[in-house]
Amino acid sequence: MAVIVVVALVAAACGDDGGDETADTTTSAPGAVATGSTTTVPASTTAAPTTSTAAPTTTEAGPVSDTVFVTVDEMVLGWWDGSAWIETAEVETEVPPIAGETLRSVEGLADVVAVEPVASCMPEAGVVNWWIDGLDGVRASGAHDLQPRPYEVIGAADAHVDAIRAVLDANGVDPAVPVEISQVTRFDIEGDGVDEVVIEAQRFPEGPLLGFIDEGHYSVVVLRRVLPDDSVENITLHAGIADLEQAGQYVLRVDLAGPIDVNGDGAYELASRWSYYEGGGVSLFELGAEPAEVLVAGCGV
């Protein structure tokens, strides 16, 4: 067995979320694939988002200096040690010192005091991932505000559909394959009064993924944001596209678990769950100038 993590960073041009076109921009992360846009819009995904009225807020000077643990469901994802992110994989067989920490929920659930975690799986690579029975949802320790600003799920606009279509085009997906947006989440990442959106698109059959994946199945997550010059960029946080040329039918599915400010710097990170037919896990993305997956835990073949 081996830990499986597949995350691509891709930038693509697009129009404004409110429907008005702005100057487009395309930026490329290392190894990224520049993509174009499309005007094909499924009838079921044309609802436009409402206009944001969020006022600017002042973010904190920097992250907290204390250790902050983060969990998703029953898995210990890792922690902020006061200056850097630490994955559970980095400590190998050392038990994460989370026991006794009060874990607060971003979903309004009751606080839980963590017990000592147990090894959840040990893949061939020798990496141990850690599990605490009974945990639920997205949680973190620390005394700071885990959700400094509200967020909302909104309807998908044409520009959101175009952003997903651009990723599919870049990965050689047949243009006849429809864009199926599962959720659009809007929130102000940095507290500057300008909202960003995260677009999730999933196209899978009903039932378990094993044996049911075919061409045209995909899992795509795109961060869409307005830049200081009022242009708009799309950054692909994940693009899992069915590849039937591999030994088995395979696609990595990523579903968002929710925004959370783990390290207390006043800016949101994004927790997610990922899965495929022989494994799964959880991860955490930073959403700064160059979004990146900073923590990951999970296992599989």
Residue range 216-243: average pLDDT?
93
Give pLDDT, residue 153: 96
Q: Does residue 115 sit in the same domain as residue 230?
A: no
Percent share of the chain, pLDDT over 70: 72
Confirm whether 51 is domain-assigned.
no
Q: Give the residue from 119, 140, 161 where a domain finishes.
A: 140
Helix H or strand E encompassing 38? none
Give pLDDT, residue 237: 96
Q: Does residue 155 sit in the same domain as residue 250?
A: yes
Give pLDDT, residue 147: 96
pTM comes to 0.78
CB 171 within 8 A of CB 107: no
Beta carbons within 8 Å of 44's beta carbon, 6+ residues apart: none
pLDDT tens digits, 258-294: 999 999 999 999 999 998 877 889 999 999 889 999 9
Give pLDDT, residue 89: 75
Q: Does residue 99 sit in the same domain as residue 204?
A: no
- The domain tally of the chain equals 2
Helix H or strand E encompassing 133? none
Q: Does residue 222 sit in the same domain as residue 178?
A: yes
Q: Give the residue from 124, 140, 156 where a domain finishes.
A: 140
